[in-house]
Chains A and B, each alone.
Chain A
C-alpha cells in the first residue's frame, strides 16, 4: 500500500512547521522518512547535506543521533533509567560527535533539575515530555521532529511543553516540525501543511 503519494515539501532551515491531517493520512510515515527511521522507495529526500536515500544503515543511525531530535507522543523515555541517565545515554550515543550541552544544564533549562534522578514512572506526563525535549536537545540537533508532542497531555501541560519547544526553536535556531491533530497547536506554527490520503495540501 502506498502511504504517501506525490508529496513535495520544502522546509526552510530554522523554520517552524506544523503537519496536520486525519489518522492514516501518512503524517507519521512522513515523519519517519524525514527522521531516517525508514527509507523512501521513490523520490528524493534531502535534509541539510544528507540525501537520505543514499545513506547506509549505520549512516542513518549517525544521522539520527547527530541531526535529528525525536519527541514522541508517549515520550519514549526508557523506564530503566532516570531522567538524567536518559539524557546522558542519548549523549553517549554520539560521544564522538560534536560536544553538546550537559544533561544537568538541559534539565535546568526545562525546569526539572530537581527531578533529575527520578525515573519516568515517577514523573507526570508534562515532566516526561520535558525530559524528552531535553534528551532531544542533548546532541544539539538541527531538526526537531515532534510527533503529537501534546497529544498525551492535559491542556496546561500541553501549553507549557509547546512554549518550551518554541523557546528552544527560537533560541537555538533549529528547525521544528510538529505533527498534530490539534488545530490550536498548529496555528502557532509559522507554516502549516495538511496531509490527506497521502497527498500534501497547503
Chain B
C-alpha cells in the first residue's frame, strides 16, 4: 500500500465520522491553544519583568563608574565606590578587548540649568518661570537598545542630534507638564562654565534650545535630560574651558563619567564584572537579582508547561479513544485489507496517519488560536497599562520555534496516542477480522 493510499484511507475515514473527528480535533486544538497561549504570555511577561529589572536594557548590561572599586565590589550587585578613577579611551579599549564583552558604551554627564517654557525674550530665566539645576546624560543613542532606557512616550533623540532631548518624569514634575503635553515643546538649557572675574568666581552659560521628542525612564546616569553624547561632550568641553568651580561646580576629572558594558550572555556577566573590578573600576549590575528572578520565572514556566501538558495529555487520550472506537468499528475493513494482502505495517500506517492528521490539523488551528489569544491578552493588558501611564508590553511576537514545536509536538503526541490502537488493528487476526465478510 502506498503512502497516498494510506492517506486517502485516513482522510476518508475521518470524514466518515465528522462528529467524532471534529470533537477529537477540537480536543487537540484546545490543548495546543492553551499551551501556545500560556507559553506566549509567559514569555512576554518574563521579558517584561527582566526588562523592568534592568530598566529596559539588556539583563547583561553592567554599569561602570569613574570610581575605584572597593574590596567588596566583586561580591555585590551594588556599586562600591572608593574615590575617583578616570575613565579614558584606553579604559574603553581595554574593556572592548576583554573576553565575553559584546558592547562598550561610554557615558558623559554634565550639570546644567534647565528652563521650561514659556520663555522670555532673552535667553535666560525670566520671572515666573522656575529654572532648575539638573544633569544631562549623553550616550551614543544608536546603542539605546543596549542601555537601561525605556521610552514611555514619543521617541529618543536622533543619535547625533544637538537640538533634540528626551526627558524623564522628573522634568515633568519640575515643569508641571503631563507626559503627552511635554512632547514637541522646547526647553532652554544652560551649560555652565565657572570663570574668575573682578567680583570673584562667577558662572556663565552656553545656552541651547532643544525640542523634547520623548519621555523616558533611564538609569544610565542620574539626570532628567537624555541627549546625544555629542551634546554632552560640547557641554563638558565648555565647562573645562572655564575654571574649577569648587565644590559647587568642580571641573570634570574623567573624560567619561561612566561606561555601560554589555556582556555576551547572562552566564558571562559575573566574569566580566570580575574583569572590570580587576581593572579597578566600581561597577554595578543586577546580576544576582536577575538570576534569582529568572529562577522563579523558570518555575512559572514549568508550572504553565505542566498545565499545557495536562491539556495535551487529555487531547491525547481523546485521540486514543477515537482510534480505539475506529478500530472496533473497522474490523471488517481491516480483515478485508489483510485478506487481499495488506501487511501489518500497512494497517498500522493507515491508523497512525489518521492520528497524525488529527494532531496536525488540531496543532495548526490550536497554534493560531493560541497566538491570537496571546495577542488579545496583549492588547487588553496594554490598554490597561497605557491607561495607567505605564509602558506597554510587546506581545504576540511570532516565535517560530514555539510555532514549530507546538505543531510538531501535537502531531507527535497524536501519533503516540494512536500507537496502541493502531497496533491492535495491525495485529488483528485476518481470519477473526474477516469473519462475517
Q: Which residues on A are within 8 Å of B, measured CB to CB? A: 32, 35, 37-38, 57-58, 61-62, 64-66, 68, 70, 72-81, 85, 89-90, 92-95, 135-136, 139
Q: Is the CB of B340 within 8 A of A93?
A: yes
What are 9 A-B pairs at a CB distance below 8 A?
A32-B434, A58-B343, A64-B341, A64-B430, A68-B341, A72-B336, A81-B9, A93-B342, A135-B340
The one of A38, A74, A76, A92 that contacts B1, using a Cβ cutoff of 8 Å: A92
Q: Is the CB of A38 within 8 A of B431?
A: yes
Q: Is the CB of A76 within 8 A of B434?
A: yes
Interface string of B317-345 (1 = CB under 8 A from A): 00000000000000011011111111110
Closest CB of chain A to B69's CB: distance in Å? 75
Which residues of B in the span 301-359 have a Cβ within 8 Å of any Cβ on A? 332-333, 335-344, 346
Q: Is the CB of A76 within 8 A of B13?
A: no
Chain A CB within 10 Å, residue with most, of B332, B335, B338, B340:
B340
Assuming the contacts A72-B336, A76-B434, asked whether A93 and B341 have C-beta atoms less than 8 A apart, the reply is yes
Pairs A-B, 3 closest by C-beta atoms: A65-B341, A38-B431, A80-B12
- C-alpha spacing A66/B436, complex, angstroms: 23
The one of B333, B343, B344 that contacts A78, using a Cβ cutoff of 8 Å: B333
Interface size bracket, B side: 20 to 34
Chain A CB within 10 Å, residue with most, of B16, B336, B434:
B336
Assuming the contacts A37-B434, A72-B437, A74-B437, asked whether A94 and B2 have C-beta atoms less than 8 A apart, the reply is no
Give the secondary structure class of B's interface. helix
Q: Is the CB of A74 within 8 A of B436?
A: yes
Residues of B contacting A74 in the complex (Cβ-Cβ under 8 angstroms): 436-437
Residues of B contacting A92 in the complex (Cβ-Cβ under 8 angstroms): 1-2, 5
- C-alpha spacing A61/B346, complex, angstroms: 11
Closest CB of chain A to B2's CB: distance in Å? 5
Closest residue of chain B to A119 (Cβ to Cβ) is B12
Q: Does B8 contact A (CB under 8 A)?
A: yes
Q: Which residues on B are within 8 Å of A, measured CB to CB? A: 1-2, 5, 8-9, 12-13, 16, 332-333, 335-344, 346, 429-431, 434, 436-437
Residues of A contacting B1 in the complex (Cβ-Cβ under 8 angstroms): 89, 92-93
- A37-B339, A74-B437 given. 14 additional CB < 8 A pairs? A32-B434, A61-B341, A61-B343, A61-B344, A72-B336, A73-B437, A75-B437, A76-B332, A77-B336, A80-B333, A85-B8, A89-B5, A89-B340, A93-B1
Chain A CB within 10 Å, residue with most, of B336, B339, B341, B436:
B341
Q: Is the CB of B12 within 8 A of A81?
A: yes
Q: Is the CB of A57 within 8 A of B434?
A: no
The one of A32, A94, A95 that contacts B431, using a Cβ cutoff of 8 Å: A32
Residues of A contacting B337 in the complex (Cβ-Cβ under 8 angstroms): 78, 89
Assuming the contacts A38-B430, A74-B436, asked whether A61 and B9 have C-beta atoms less than 8 A apart, the reply is no
Closest CB of chain B to A106's CB: distance in Å? 14
Closest CB of chain B to A115's CB: distance in Å? 19
Closest CB of chain B to A151's CB: distance in Å? 12
Closest CB of chain A to B16's CB: distance in Å? 7
Closest CB of chain A to B7's CB: distance in Å? 12
Closest CB of chain A to B349's CB: distance in Å? 12
Q: Is the CB of B2 within 8 A of A66?
A: no
Closest CB of chain A to B351's CB: distance in Å? 13
Residues of B contacting A78 in the complex (Cβ-Cβ under 8 angstroms): 9, 333, 336-337
Closest CB of chain A to B239's CB: distance in Å? 87
Closest CB of chain A to B11's CB: distance in Å? 9
Closest CB of chain A to B374's CB: distance in Å? 39
Q: Is the CB of A61 within 8 A of B8?
A: no
- C-alpha spacing A38/B335, complex, angstroms: 12
Assuming the contacts A73-B437, A78-B333, A85-B8, asked whether A90 and B430 have C-beta atoms less than 8 A apart, the reply is no
Residues of A contacting B341 in the complex (Cβ-Cβ under 8 angstroms): 61-62, 64-66, 68, 90, 93-94, 139
Residues of B contacting A70 in the complex (Cβ-Cβ under 8 angstroms): 339-340
Q: Is the CB of A64 within 8 A of B8?
A: no
Residues of A contacting B343 in the complex (Cβ-Cβ under 8 angstroms): 57-58, 61
- C-alpha spacing A77/B431, complex, angstroms: 16
Residues of B contacting A136 in the complex (Cβ-Cβ under 8 angstroms): 340
- C-alpha spacing A58/B16, complex, angstroms: 30
Closest CB of chain B to A133's CB: distance in Å? 13
Residues of A contacting B338 in the complex (Cβ-Cβ under 8 angstroms): 37, 61, 64
Closest residue of chain B to A95 (Cβ to Cβ) is B2
Closest CB of chain A to B88's CB: distance in Å? 79
- C-alpha spacing A16/B436, complex, angstroms: 24
Q: Is the CB of B429 within 8 A of A38?
A: yes
Closest CB of chain A to B370's CB: distance in Å? 33
